[in-house]
Amino acid sequence: MSQAPENPIREAIAAAIAENEVILFMKGTPDAPACGFSARSAAALEATGTPFAAVDVLPDPRIRQELSALSDWPTIPQLFIRGDLVGGADIIAEMMASGELADQLGVPQPQATVEAPVEDAPAPLTIENRLS
């Protein structure tokens, strides 16, 4: 009888998910995200103040392939909390907005960021037509 071939990348991914309470598989790193979806997902986690592990899937295409095969989720980023797949960027954003992300992480909901008042915004671009 032959044993199933070992898959060290899939085993390493499964071990990382099991060993880290919160882990984000993303394009790039939290300090240097390589796409907007990954940037927003990392920023949401950082806003909660929760420590999390992050794995850059870009250095080796097999990481993304094996992660998607393991999670049955096709897109990156992918967030796992306590070993369970939470989802990707849209789900993370929705959970952040509703407070569900903080609840699932067991932390207080972060304070909303205060945007600059509209009157402090720069004037819109004006173009003077001197062609005629």
Residue 57 β-bridge partners: none
CATH fourth-level superfamily of 8-120: Glutaredoxin (3.40.30.10)
Express as a percent the part of the chain with pLDDT over 90. 75
Indicate the average pLDDT of the chain: 86
| CB atoms near residue 93 (< 10 Å) | 17
The string of pLDDT tens digits covering residues 4-28 is 568 899 999 999 999 999 999 999 9
Predicted confidence (pLDDT) at residue 104 exceeds the cutoff of 90 = yes
Query: Which of 65, 59, 74 minimizes the C-alpha distance to 13?
Result: 65
More confident call, 130 vs 71? 71
pTM summary value: 0.79
Categorise residue 83: left if φ over 0, alpha if ψ from -120 to 50, beta otherwise: left
Q: Which helix (H) or strand (E) holds 44?
A: helix 36-48
Q: What is the distance of C-alpha 21 from the center of its chain? A: 15
For the chain, what are the domain ranges?
A: 8-120
Dmax of the chain from CA atoms? Answer: 86
**Residues 34-56: tens digit of each pLDDT:** 999 999 999 999 999 999 999 99
Counted residue by residue, the chain has a size of: 132
Q: What is the pLDDT of residue 125?
A: 54
Residue 6 confidence (pLDDT)? 86
